[in-house]
Structure 1
Amino acid sequence: MFRLTDFTYEGKTVFLRADLNSPVENGRITSDARFRAVLPTIRHLLEDGAKVVVATHQSRPYKGDYITTEEHAEILSRLLNQEVEYVEDIFGKNARERIGALKPGEVIMLENLRFSAEEVFYKPIEECEKTFFVRKLTPLIDYVVNDAFAAAHRSQPSLVGFARLKPMIMGELLEAEVDALSRAYESDDRPRVYILGGAKVDDSLRVAENVLRNGKADLILTGGLVGQIFTLAKGFDLGDANVGFLHRKGLLELVDWAERILDEFYPYVRTPVDFAVDYHEERLEVDLLGGDKRLFDEYPILDIGSRTVEKYREILDSAKIIVANGPMGVFEREGFAHGTVGVFRAIGESPAFSIVGGGHSIASVYRYNITGISHVSTGGGAMLSFFAGEELPVLKALEISYERFREGTDKPKTELSLLFHQ
């Protein structure tokens, strides 16, 4: 796959697909973490004399954080210490004229890509090529740089549509992500521990099944709703309040799948030994073996308990590889952050090569100033797809583009290995 250093960009127009999709409260962006993550790529392009067209999506139609990219341009301007002009258009006449008028060293920000209906659906490369978005912009750009690892599991026009039409290049963030995840997945160091939490239960089950069946993990620790589903699969009763909640979320149907994983890999999947419930706005821990489990009938589980944190800490202390996705509980509430903070701090203190990913996981790492983690991934869904052994459309598109354009680069290339597993 192409890297940034394989080309020179003086006077060239570069379409930079980033993922600046950020949390929003009261109509304002509350974190600039994803903006900071793409700064090295943008600075590399600007220092080389490129004309940069930044494109990103923000949320989905009809959601509360579905906003324009005007504030995205403001944030990027502040971080780059130069103007990033917001263009209230995606591929229409206004956008095309502004792209055509760009001068070397200038940056513009296109409108939220998901304001275009073509960008909402997943289609193969062949169909993405035919979209108005790709057909209108292709004549105006020289290179496509993709730094949107968090969207790498999606096949949409802005992500894969240019692959056979223009050289498509990994940005520095995407390259670092793929290198780190490949290192963890392919490593023979042992023990290799995966921590699966949060609410993406089906994705986590796919990861568990893949890494255990293919000998990529020695142990899996669970928390969040993932931990609750595995706990039910082990035959424990989590009470009316919690079983009812899982039912409303449509997650109870996954218990059978979790049971099948346990039947095949039982000793290698660990579940919480205690949970913390919201008992009249206070944290109350309930032991699965010796506690008053009747509390589960009335009070919701919002975290793993202290004994579980200590058991997980002992395991993580001796790990060589750690991959974690998703929090252990509702860390946004201070009284129920103990599990997530305790486990993530144990990851940071471990000598292992460690990766933590997922939007909520990243938020907790920064909120509680947790240090020592080797790599904090910007992609939750993409990271889960990677470790589930699934092909990521963006990485496949990068490979296709490399094969098509590798004879036309400006600089002699070093050997480029395939950075992702089949």
Structure 2
Amino acid sequence: MFRLTDFNFHNKTVFLRVDLNSPVENGRITSDARFKAILPTVKHLVEDGGKVVIGTHQSRPYKGGYITTEQHAEILSELLGQEVEYVEDIFGKLARDRIRSLKPGEVLMLENLRFSAEEVFYKPMEDCEKTFFVRKLAPLIDYVVNDAFATAHRSQPSLVGFARLKPMVMGHLMEREINALSRAYESDEKPRVYVLGGAKVDDSLRVAENVLRKEKADMILTGGLVGHVFTLAKGFNLGDANLEFMEKKGLLELVDWAERILDEFYPYVRTPVDFAIDKDGERVEVDLLSDEKWLFDRYPILDIGSRTIEKYREILMKAKIIVANGPMGVFEREEFAVGTVGIFRAISESEAFSVVGGGHSIASIYRYNITGISHVSTGGGAMLSFFTGEKLPVLEAFRVSYEMFKKK
């Protein structure tokens, strides 16, 4: 795959695809974490004298946070220390004229790519290549640099459509992500521990199945709704209140799948031994085997309990490789962040090479100032897809582009 150091970008027009999709409250972006993550790539291109055209998406139609990229340009301007001009267009005449007039070292931010209907659908590379977006912009571009790891599991025009038309190059963030995830996945160091939490239960089941079957993991620790599903699969009752919630979320239909994983790999999947419930606004811990478990009928489980945290901690402190995705509970409420913070602190204190990803995981790491994790991934869904063993469309596009242009 091509790297930034393979090319001289002086006086060349570069389409830089990034993922600056950020949390928005009351119309304002509330985190600059993803902006800081792509800064090394933007600086590299600017210092090389490239004419930089940035494309990003923000949210999706009819969802919260679906705003223009005007703020994105302002935030990036401040961090970069030079103007990033916002153009209220994607591939129309206004955008094309502005791209043509760019001077070396200038940076342009296109409008939210998902304002274009073509960018909302997932299509094969060949279809993406035929879109208006790609056909209109390709003649103006010399190189495509992709630093949008968080969307590497998607096949959309801006992500894969240029691969056979222009050299497609990994940005610094993309390269760092792939190196870290590959190191964790391919490592022979043992024990290798995967911590699967959060609400993306089907993705987590795919990860569990893949890494156990391919002998990439020695132990899986579960929490959040993933832990709930595996706990039910082991034959424990989580009570009426929690079963009702899981049924509404469509999670009960995943219990059979979790059971099949346990049948094949039972000793290697650990589930919580106690949980924290919200009893009238207070954190109350209930052991799964105690007489108090009737409380699960009335009160929602919002975190793992202290005994589980301690048991998981012992395993994590002996690990050589740790991969973690998703929180252990509802970390947004301080009294139910105990599990998530406890597990991530254990990971940070372990001597293992550790990779942690997922939007909620990252938010809790920053919120509780947890340091010492080897690699914090910018992509939750992309990271999970990587560890399921699936081919990621953007990584395939890099390979295709490399094969097409390496001799040139």
Give the TM-score taking structure 2 as reference length. Answer: 0.99
Distance in 1 (CA, whole Å) between partners of 2:246 and 2:355 is 28
Q: Which runs of 5+ in 1 are unaligned?
A: 409-422
What is aligned with 1:387? Answer: 387
What is aligned with 1:145? Answer: 145
How many residue pairs match? The answer is 408
Secondary structure in structure 2 of the residue aligned to 1:400? helix
What is aligned with 2:247? Answer: 247
What is aligned with 2:4? Answer: 4
What is aligned with 2:36? Answer: 36
Secondary structure in structure 1 of the residue aligned to 2:292? coil
Residue deviations 1:69-88 (CA, integer Å, cap 9, x gap): 11111110110011111111
Distance in 2 (CA, whole Å) between partners of 1:289 and 1:84 is 59
Could you list the structure 1 runs, at least 4 aligned residues long, displaced by more than 4 angstroms after superposition. Answer: none
What is aligned with 1:162? Answer: 162
What is aligned with 1:292? Answer: 292
What is aligned with 1:130? Answer: 130
Q: Which runs of 5+ in 2 are unaligned?
A: none
What is aligned with 1:88? Answer: 88
Structure 1 position 136, deviation (Å): 0.2
Residue deviations 1:49-105 (CA, integer Å, cap 9, x gap): 001011001111101111111111111011001111111111011111111111111
Residue deviations 1:8-55 (CA, integer Å, cap 9, x gap): 000001000000011111111111000000000000000000010110
What is aligned with 2:46? Answer: 46
Tell me the amino acid that sits aligned with residue 338 of structure 1: V
Secondary structure in structure 1 of the residue aligned to 2:278? strand
Secondary structure in structure 2 of the residue aligned to 1:293? helix
Q: Does 1:107 align with 2:107?
A: yes
Secondary structure in structure 1 of the residue aligned to 2:407? helix
Higher deviation after alignment, 290-299 or 343-352: 290-299
Distance in 1 (CA, whole Å) between partners of 2:151 and 2:64 is 20
Residue deviations 1:300-355 (CA, integer Å, cap 9, x gap): 11100011000000000000000000000010101100000000000000000000
Distance in 2 (CA, whole Å) between partners of 1:189 and 1:74 is 44
Tell me the amino acid that sits aligned with residue 270 of structure 2: R
1:209-248 mapped onto 2 (5 Å cutoff): 209-248=209-248
What is aligned with 2:175? Answer: 175
Assess, with a 3 A threshold, how the Cα gap between structure 1 residues 113 and 318 changes in structure 2: closer, same or farther. Answer: same
Distance in 2 (CA, whole Å) between partners of 1:130 and 1:369 is 46
What is aligned with 1:17? Answer: 17
Residue deviations 1:91-145 (CA, integer Å, cap 9, x gap): 0111111111111111011111111000011101100000000000000110000
1:391-410 mapped onto 2 (5 Å cutoff): 391-408=391-408
Secondary structure in structure 1 of the residue aligned to 2:302? strand
Distance in 1 (CA, whole Å) between partners of 2:199 and 2:291 is 25
Distance in 2 (CA, whole Å) between partners of 1:56 and 1:278 is 39
What is aligned with 2:76? Answer: 76
Tell me the amino acid that sits aligned with residue 306 of structure 1: S
Q: Does 1:190 align with 2:190?
A: yes
Tell me the amino acid that sits aligned with residue 262 of structure 1: L
Higher deviation after alignment, 206-215 or 79-88: 79-88
Residue deviations 1:264-300 (CA, integer Å, cap 9, x gap): 0000000000011111111111100124111111111
Secondary structure in structure 1 of the residue aligned to 2:64? coil
What is aligned with 2:322? Answer: 322
Distance in 1 (CA, whole Å) between partners of 2:308 and 2:176 is 32
Distance in 2 (CA, whole Å) between partners of 1:278 and 1:84 is 47
1:259-270 mapped onto 2 (5 Å cutoff): 259-270=259-270
What is aligned with 1:412? Answer: none
Distance in 1 (CA, whole Å) between partners of 2:357 and 2:154 is 17
1:329-408 mapped onto 2 (5 Å cutoff): 329-408=329-408
Secondary structure in structure 2 of the residue aligned to 1:294? helix
Residue deviations 1:134-181 (CA, integer Å, cap 9, x gap): 000000110000000000000000000000000000000000000000
Tell me the amino acid that sits aligned with residue 357 of structure 1: G
Distance in 2 (CA, whole Å) between partners of 1:20 and 1:213 is 35
Distance in 2 (CA, whole Å) between partners of 1:97 and 1:241 is 59
Give the TM-score taking structure 1 as reference length. Answer: 0.96
Distance in 2 (CA, whole Å) between partners of 1:300 and 1:110 is 45
Distance in 2 (CA, whole Å) between partners of 1:383 and 1:225 is 18
Tell me the amino acid that sits aligned with residue 47 of structure 2: E
Distance in 1 (CA, whole Å) between partners of 2:30 and 2:302 is 24
Distance in 2 (CA, whole Å) between partners of 1:333 and 1:360 is 13
What is aligned with 1:414? Answer: none
What is aligned with 2:309? Answer: 309
Assess, with a 3 A threshold, how the Cα gap between structure 1 residues 119 and 101 changes in structure 2: closer, same or farther. Answer: same
Structure 1 position 4, deviation (Å): 0.2
